[in-house]
Amino acid sequence: MKRIIVLCALLIVTGTNLVFAQGHDQDPYARQMYHIAIVEQGPNFKPMGTDEYSKVQMQLLAGLRELDKEGILITGGPVNDGSPVELILILKIETLTEAQALVNSAPNVQNGFWKVQLYPWFGRAGLKADPPRTQ
């Protein structure tokens, strides 16, 4: 458990470019509930280099793009430390019930390729991903 918390902290502090909602009218102490999703290898996981893994990765990228468009995905990234943890995501979802419904509807969770642990996280309101910079 301590390892997961450290991974999440490192993701937030060093692996992301997070900003807060713009505007001077927002209360700097306002808080909001988010959910951290720890995506792990499930019982039907297939390792990198297999056709199934490649297919699942393409589905994952499409799903993450959709969550980004909907404003649900704050940030996330892969974990490459040899552990069963594959990915960590921060989701802008208020309730555990909503987060579970979203995660459980993912085809690769339903088929056992991945399993997901959800943790509520109470952070600053208005957290959002920093859009890519244009040159």
The pLDDT of residue 93: 94
> For the structural domain made of 32-123, what CATH number should be given?
3.30.70.1060
Task: Give the model's confidence band at 80: pLDDT under 50 very low, under 70 low, under 90 confident, else very high.
Answer: confident
Look at residue 104 and tell me whether its pLDDT is greater than 90: yes
Distances (CA, A) of 111 to 41, 54, 83, 128: 12, 16, 21, 31
Tokens 């704050």 -> residue: 74
Task: Identify which of 21, 6, 114, 118 has the alpha carbon closest to the alpha carbon of residue 63.
Answer: 114
The pLDDT of residue 22: 45
More confident residue, 128 or 115: 115
pTM of this prediction? 0.76
78-87 mean pLDDT = 92
